[in-house]
Amino acid sequence: MTFHLVRVRSEVHSVHRRHFLGTLAASGVLPRTALSQQAPDVLTAATHRQQILPAGYPETTLWSFDAAFPGRPLRARQGDRLALDVVNDLPQPTAVHWHGLRLDNAMDGVPYLTQAPIQPGETFTYEFDLPDAGTYWYHSHAQSMEQVERGLYGPLIIDEINPPDVDQDLTLVLDDIRLNQDGTIGEFGNFHDLSHAGRIGNLWLANGQIDPAYPIKRGERIRLRLISAANSRIFTLGLAGLEGWIVALDGMPLADPQELPDQITLAPAQRMDLIVDVTTDDDEAFLITFERDGGYAIAHFPVSGAPSPKRAKPDALPANPDFPIDLQNARAATLLIEGGAMGGMRAASVDGEQLGARDLAQRGLFWALNGTAGRPEDPLLDLKLGESVRIGMANDTAFPHAMHLHGVHFAEVLPDGSLGPLRDTILLNPQETREIAFQAHNPGDWLFHCHMLAHHQAGMGTWIRVSA
Ligand code: C2O
Ligand code: CU
């Protein structure tokens, strides 16, 4: 363990002791929900009150699924079919997106692209096959900057037919929520959030709680599924007291598990599956979020049991169905990301009309993709089923963006021409250029947008058509 982490560890101790003493009710593991063919299960979106701030502060009024925040884990087995009636008891229309699933386009949950929004009082039945195992999540895709922040999200876990042998399988949905001292969430869509880094929170949450505790034992091997449900924050995370490997990114297994580095980056909507061994001699281990002024516990793990060394590297998770990318014959496209504060965007087209920066700002639009703000009438690309494509993306802005493509997983084309791991969300730092490639194996109209939800709302969204 490096000196830096040791130093951070002691800060972590003092921070959580100081701020959260007496509020550390152990919440245990998220319950496993069996969900299979027998379903039509019901998921109700409604207003719900929950204690988010430390004890002694007021409760928070959230919008959540089934009166739980995060929504209950939906769990099924690879090859199953998921069937869910989503009931909308919210004061706004909604729709549910199953983030990262390569599913039937009509079930993708994007208002006005794949379905009409579910009006208050209405029900919509989602039903689709689950070809891929892995760690996914579900969240509202209507007014998502507001609805996801208010709590409309939950984990979606698809178990492998032969899952790896572990002692615990823990899911941690990470978030940063912006709350006032009186427990209220406050307003949405101020121009600063829309035109800068998005809505950044002031509290870190794991599974809806401040620094929850998950008891572990030395010698245990744990699968840790990290999901970022944050609106805009890019988490830099580390583990103290646990050592292991990254085995999957955005649900997709790595062909070769990668030794866990001291710091890992989790952009909004990204997931990471870890397999870790409990090796510490201390009585607590931590999941740390690194901030400018040091590391803070976002979750902790009380440790018991006899000392035990790190075990051998785990096997790779079983691969999901493969849709090989034909880079030689791939169609080439480009995506220019412009706008935001301190950017140079002078004008952009909106619904076919060219508008200057002032008029755009008046409409709450601050970002453009290939010169268009907001989802254009025509797709960025109209691809033939089975065709391969490569998209060079240039981030000509002063902010990072987490670009997410629905319906397929893409690979990054690395500088040496090889393909990186499959992902559904890729982070582009300011002024960075990255290229992705994929095979258009899934027919339909697929959204392609920034998952910094304020950026999406303020114009960073386009779409791709795959024609059968
Ligand atoms: Cu997580 Cu367009 O979605
Ligand atoms: Cu963005």
Name residue 426's amino acid. Answer: I
Atom of ligand 1 nearest to the CA of 110: 2
List, for residues 320-338, the tens digit of each pLDDT value.
999 999 999 999 999 999 9
Residues framing ligand 1 (Cβ under 6 A): 97, 99, 139, 141, 269, 404, 406, 447, 449, 451
Give the pLDDT band (50/70/90) at residue 82. very high
Residue 19 has pLDDT above 70, yes or no: no
Residue range 249-293, pLDDT digits in tens: 999 999 999 999 999 999 999 999 999 999 999 999 999 999 999
Please name which ligand lies nearest the alpha carbon of 101: 1
- CB within 8 Å of 46: residues ≥ 6 apart: 63, 64, 67, 89, 90
pLDDT at 22: 26
Least confident of 5-19, 239-253, 260-274: 5-19
State the closest ligand 1 atom to the C-alpha of 100, by its place in the atom list counted from 1.
Answer: 1
The band of 296, judged by pLDDT with boundaries at 50, 70 and 90, is very high
Q: What is the mean pLDDT of residues 25-49?
A: 60
Q: Which ligand is nearest to the CA of 269?
A: 1
Burial 110-130 (b: 16+ CB within 10 A, else e): bbebbbebbeeeeebebebeb
Q: Is 341 exposed, middle or buried (0-12, 13-18, 19+ CB in 10 A)?
A: middle
Ligand nearest to the CA of 448: 1
Q: What is the pLDDT of residue 38?
A: 52
Q: Give pLDDT, residue 186.
A: 86
What is the pTM for the complete model shown?
0.92
Residue-level pLDDT at 344: 81
The string of pLDDT tens digits covering residues 186-212 is 889 899 999 999 999 999 999 999 999
Residues with CB under 5 A from ligand 2 (ion): 401, 450, 452, 455
Please say if the pLDDT value at position 45 is more than 90. yes
- The reported pLDDT for the residue numbered 201 is 95
Averaged pLDDT, 388-403: 98
Q: Say if residue 24's pLDDT is above 50.
A: no
Of all residues in the chain, what percent carry a pLDDT higher than 70? 91
195: CA distance to ligand 2 center in Å?
Answer: 9
Pairing mode of beta strands 134-140, 153-159: antiparallel
